[in-house]
Amino acid sequence: MAPPAQCLDTVTGATGQNGTVPVIGHTPEKKMQCHNLLDADEFRLQGHQVIDFIAEYYSGMGDHPVHPSVTPGFLRNLLPTEAPSHPEPDAFSSALKDVRDIILPGMTHWQSPRHFAHFPASSSTVGALGEALTAGINVVPFTWAASPAAAELEMVVVDWLGKALHLPESLLFAGGGGGTILGTSCEAILCTLVAARDRKLAEIGENRICDLVVYCSDQTHFAFRKAARIAGIQRDHCRAIHTCHGDMFALSPTELQAAMQADVDAGLVPLFLCATIGTTQTTAVDPIGELCAVTAPHGVWVHVDAAYAGSALVCPEFTYVIHGVEAVDSFSMNAHKWLLANNDCCTMWVKKPSALVAALGTEQEYILKDAASEGHDVVDYKDWNMTLTRRFRALKMWLVLRCYGIQGLRDHIRSHVRMAVAFEKMVRADERFEVVTDRTFALVCFRLRPQDKFSGEKTANDLNRGLLEEVNAVTSGPYMSAANVGGMFMLRCAVGSTLTEEHHVDDAWKVVQDRASAILRKMEIIYSSR
């Protein structure tokens, strides 16, 4: 650890003994302790407190409502308006107590086994400890020279993970491509879009940026449209192509081809397609190979956003969803969603890393150079993303892969899929309900069927909105969310918490059935009285 801190006496100009220094404006007798901020013994003590706190949090997760019943401003009213000017007595323990008593009651507990509302923010002991190890080492690996082992471990890990996900060799370092670890898929989309933009403008001239057009489906995550605006694409040049229930809300190659040809005929330039494996609302799967066949004649960059469902590719039985992926230019997935890596950990692979470097690279400043790297083909990851300061996320992913192994990750994914299959069967067994879209992964989209005696389709959406509110009002859970696709309001049950077990899924369905019965009884009374 660092040597004991020494502080300058601002009154006498001398260094104070025992690391003390007078407070400016006070007499020399009044001195403030200058703490060693990396004291090993204090760190060990506080570290044990944190580990114990987290362990107790997980063991007592069942005692917390999944979603809090609070109103805006509740926490601001409980905390002081200004930070303390001096450390409190036993400040760390006191702060942990406030976390337990004030902050946790106002949290949505994403790790709750009864959290079915969103795709998982998966957690594991190894993932959490990997985060702690990364924070403790606290390097900034923006270039190879800034931390050689960090840069090279990242290269190793992205190839390990790419092979585990059955990605084509052309996207891996081993095959001339390569990958990096970012924070989120939003960053991956933006980085690849900027690379595609600059590559296209180098061909047609920079003055034609206003002619560029990008494509997605109406189910693509809004992060794509946001990235397009940041990259300078005109708002009305982002084509969100309509999808339909008959295709399970997947992007139609025929519709895409028609849209691109119309733009070409109008003198515009097709630039970029963001295809999705596992859309947010319903986990729709866009047909990658067919879409690439449509885009190829136009020289369009194809990016695959597999933020959620990409994790499932560790299981060979799911690899059919990326048929034709050999033709794409880039691919990204969030290992923090379903692959036990803890937030945040998005891995992005590109077929031509040089396109990223050309768009995002910076001139190498002298301070960033290192004689040991001269003459070698090193990777400076600052040139692969939007930021210079970046985290050593590879360490966490490396630990997860080492400690759980590919087979362990497959078992994790498959257990959630089995539970989702069980939930789907229970829904189908109740004639009052229907499964609205095909279940591909571990998300079930379902709703109360429209009933003619209640005005059919007209009131079905209102019925299901009411059902969701009733389900989520149950203090003990479950917590679910909704999608509104093709004019249909439906409930979403996403199985994915590391702590979820079969009985949690069974209990969730019982709550849904109970609340549905209550709502339908009320509707019977209302309509019988008319």
Residue range 196-231, pLDDT digits in tens = 999 999 999 999 999 999 999 999 999 999 999 999
CATH number at residue 465: 3.90.1150.10
Contact 419, 218 (CB under 8 A): no
Give the whole-angstrom CA distance, residue 351 versus residue 327. Answer: 9
Residue 117 belongs to a domain: no
Contact 498, 340 (CB under 8 A): yes
Contact 213, 268 (CB under 8 A): yes
* 35 pLDDT more than 70: no
Residue 122 belongs to a domain: no
* 26 pLDDT more than 90: no
Q: Are residues 243 and 349 in the same domain?
A: yes
Residue 14 is predicted with a pLDDT of: 45
Q: Are residues 442 and 390 in the same domain?
A: no
Give the whole-angstrom CA distance, residue 159 versus residue 180. Answer: 10
> In this structure, are strands 212-217 and 238-241 parallel, antiparallel, or unpaired?
parallel
Residues 6+ apart with CB under 8 A from 23: 30, 31, 32
Residue 22 belongs to a domain: no
Helix residue ranges, H only, 60-184: 91-98, 125-137, 148-164
pLDDT tens by residue, 466-522: 999 999 999 888 999 999 999 999 999 999 999 999 999 999 999 999 999 999 998
Q: Give 508-523 as a 3 state SS string.
A: HHHHHHHHHHHHHHHH
* 184 pLDDT more than 60: yes
Q: Which domain holds residue 399?
A: 127-364+376-405
Residue 62 belongs to a domain: yes
Residue 115 belongs to a domain: no
* 290 pLDDT more than 50: yes
Tell me how far the alpha carbon of residue 89 is from its chain's centroid.
38
Residue 368 is predicted with a pLDDT of: 60
Q: Are residues 338 and 355 in the same domain?
A: yes
Quick one: average pLDDT of 379-400? 94
pTM of the model: 0.90
pLDDT tens by residue, 136-177: 999 999 999 899 999 999 999 999 999 999 999 999 999 999
Residue 166 is predicted with a pLDDT of: 98
Q: Are residues 480 and 441 in the same domain?
A: yes
CATH number at residue 327: 3.40.640.10
* 6 pLDDT more than 50: no
Q: Are residues 157 and 295 in the same domain?
A: yes
Residue 11 is predicted with a pLDDT of: 39
Residue 420 belongs to a domain: yes
Query: Which of 91-95, 378-382, 454-458 has the weakest average pLDDT?
Result: 454-458
DSSP state at residue 181: E
Give the whole-angstrom CA distance, residue 327 versus residue 500. Answer: 37
Residue 62 is predicted with a pLDDT of: 82
* 15 pLDDT more than 80: no
Residue 31 belongs to a domain: no
Q: Are residues 387 and 257 in the same domain?
A: yes
pLDDT tens by residue, 316-334: 999 999 999 999 999 999 9
* 461 pLDDT more than 90: yes
Q: Are residues 96 and 155 in the same domain?
A: no
Residue with tokens 């323990």: 93
Q: Are residues 62 and 143 in the same domain?
A: no
Residue 1 is predicted with a pLDDT of: 39
pLDDT tens by residue, 330-386: 999 999 999 999 999 999 999 999 999 999 998 766 556 665 556 557 899 999 999
Q: Are residues 352 and 465 in the same domain?
A: no
Number of separate domains in the chain: 3
Q: Are residues 221 and 332 in the same domain?
A: yes
Q: For Cα atoms 38, 40, 45, give the angle at the middle one, nearest 5 degrees.
A: 110
Confidence of residue 523 (pLDDT cuts 50, 70, 90): confident
Please, what is the end-to-end C-alpha distance for the chain in angstroms? Answer: 79
* Residue, of 363 and 449, whose pLDDT is higher: 449
Residues 6+ apart with CB under 8 A from 364: 380
pLDDT tens by residue, 231-280: 999 999 999 999 999 999 999 999 999 999 999 999 999 999 999 999 99
Q: Are residues 212 and 102 in the same domain?
A: no
Q: Are residues 243 and 346 in the same domain?
A: yes
Using CA atoms, how far residue 287 sits from 128, 249, 284, 450, 502, in Å, is 35, 11, 10, 31, 32
Would you state the structure tokens that stand for residue 327, as one six-digit string? 């033709």
Residue 342 belongs to a domain: yes
Quick one: average pLDDT of 79-100? 93
Question: If you average pLDDT over every residue of the chain, what do you get?
Answer: 91
Give the whole-angstrom CA distance, residue 359 versus residue 365. Answer: 17
Residue 363 is predicted with a pLDDT of: 73
